[in-house]
Amino acid sequence: MSELNRFIHARHWMKSNENFLTTWHAHVGYKLDLFHHFAENTSVSQVADHCSIDLPLLNRWVEVGLEVGHLKKSVRGKIKAKKKMVKYASAQSSESVGILLREMMELHIPALLEYPELMKSGERITYLEDKFAEVVAETSTLLEKAAVGPVLKWIKKEQPNSIVDMGCGYGGYLKNIHDRFPDIQLQGVEINKQVCEKAEAALGGAVPVYNGDMVEFIESFNNKVDLVMAHNLLYYFPKEEREGLYTKISRILNKGGSVTFITPVMGAKYGQTFTTAFNTFMTVHDNLYPLPTLDEIKRDSKKAKLKVKEVTPLIKEGGWYLVTLRKTK
Asked whether residue 97 is domain-assigned, the answer is no
Name the domain boundary from 90, 107, 137: 90
C-alpha closest to that of 290 among 301, 281, 300: 281
pLDDT in tens, the chain (329 residues): 678 788 787 888 878 778 899 999 999 999 999 999 999 999 999 999 999 999 999 999 999 999 999 999 999 999 999 999 999 999 889 899 999 999 999 999 999 999 999 999 999 999 988 889 889 988 888 889 899 999 999 999 999 999 999 999 999 999 999 999 999 999 999 999 999 999 999 999 999 999 999 999 999 999 999 999 999 999 999 999 999 999 999 999 999 999 999 999 999 999 999 999 999 999 999 999 999 999 999 999 998 999 999 999 999 988 999 999 999 87
Asked whether residue 112 is domain-assigned, the answer is no
Residue 289: domain span: 121-327
Structural domain tally of the chain?
A: 2
Asked whether residue 156 is domain-assigned, the answer is yes
Q: Are residues 33 and 84 located together in one domain of the fold?
A: yes
Asked whether residue 144 is domain-assigned, the answer is yes
Q: Are residues 189 and 281 located together in one domain of the fold?
A: yes
Range list of β-strands (E), the chain: 71-73, 79-81, 162-166, 185-190, 209-211, 225-231, 253-264, 306-315, 320-327
pTM: 0.88
Q: Are residues 160 and 247 located together in one domain of the fold?
A: yes
Asked whether residue 104 is domain-assigned, the answer is no
Q: Are residues 151 and 63 located together in one domain of the fold?
A: no
Asked whether residue 99 is domain-assigned, the answer is no
CA distance 201 to 71: 37
Q: Are residues 298 and 179 located together in one domain of the fold?
A: yes
Q: Are residues 174 and 254 located together in one domain of the fold?
A: yes
Asked whether residue 34 is domain-assigned, the answer is yes
Q: Are residues 201 and 240 located together in one domain of the fold?
A: yes
Range list of β-strands (E), 49-154: 71-73, 79-81
Determine contact, residues 309/302, Cβ cutoff 8 Å: no
